[in-house]
Amino acid sequence: MEKSFAAIVENWLRDEEGYRRFMYLDTEGIPTIGYGRNLKDVGINPVEAEFLLRNDMQSALIGAASFPWFDALSDLRKAVITDMIFNMGLLRFKTFKKMLFAVINKDYPGAALEMLDSKWARQVGDRADKLAYVMVNDKERPRER
């Protein structure tokens, strides 16, 4: 049985381009990833972005669920933890020891203070303010108009 035209091209491209997990600069200095995806000129489309979002969110959820105290939190506080892990990664999140201690002890105002007293909060700005509000109040912050 012969391979289809598309299968032939796909196999050639896999061999010629090679898979790269992380972004690299191609021979022209263009940021590229995967099997030669030109990030400068092609980027990613909304369907690909949604796929990546859900995949990365699932990884963050798995990381968050690895904490033994996670399931006892309210859904909104679980969302705060998961959002932070999504944003900074599990390893960096684990460095928030005082915040984690406060969460474990149900000291949510203390946890919020620790969140806001961080390089992360200075980097993400309003996102940190929103998440700290939710941590303290266990409700979503009203949207500004």
- CATH number assigned to the domain comprising residue 87: 1.10.530.40
User: Is the confidence at residue 144, as pLDDT, over 80?
Assistant: no
CA–CA distances in Å: residue 102 to residues 28, 99, 110, 133, 141:
50, 5, 6, 15, 21
pLDDT at site 145: 66
pLDDT tens, residue by residue, 114-139: 999 999 999 999 999 999 999 999 99
Q: Verify that 74 and 125 share a domain, yes or no.
A: yes
pLDDT tens, residue by residue, 8-47: 999 999 999 999 999 999 999 999 999 999 999 999 999 9
Q: Verify that 77 and 128 share a domain, yes or no.
A: yes
Q: How many domains does the chain have?
A: 2
Q: Is 122 helix (H, G, I), strand (E, B) or coil?
A: helix
Check: pTM over 0.95? Answer yes or no. Answer: no
**Cβ atoms 58, 90 nearer than 8 A:** no
44 in any annotated domain? no
pLDDT at site 141: 85
Q: Verify that 131 and 70 share a domain, yes or no.
A: yes
Q: Verify that 25 and 70 share a domain, yes or no.
A: no
Give the amino acid at 81.
Answer: I
CA distance 87 to 81: 10
User: Is the confidence at residue 1, as pLDDT, over 80?
Assistant: no
Give the amino acid at 124.
Answer: V
53 in any annotated domain? no
Burial class of 25 by CB neighbour count within 10 A (0 to 12, 13 to 18, 19+):
exposed
**Higher-confidence residue: 2 or 119?**
119
Average pLDDT over residues 69-97: 97
pLDDT tens, residue by residue, 48-62: 999 999 999 999 999
105 in any annotated domain? yes
Burial 102-141 (b: 16+ CB within 10 A, else e): bbeeeebebbbbbbbebebbeebeeebebbbbbbbeeeee
Q: Is the dihedral of CA 14, 15, 19, 23 positive or negative?
A: negative
Domain, as residue range, for 23: 5-38
pLDDT at site 51: 97
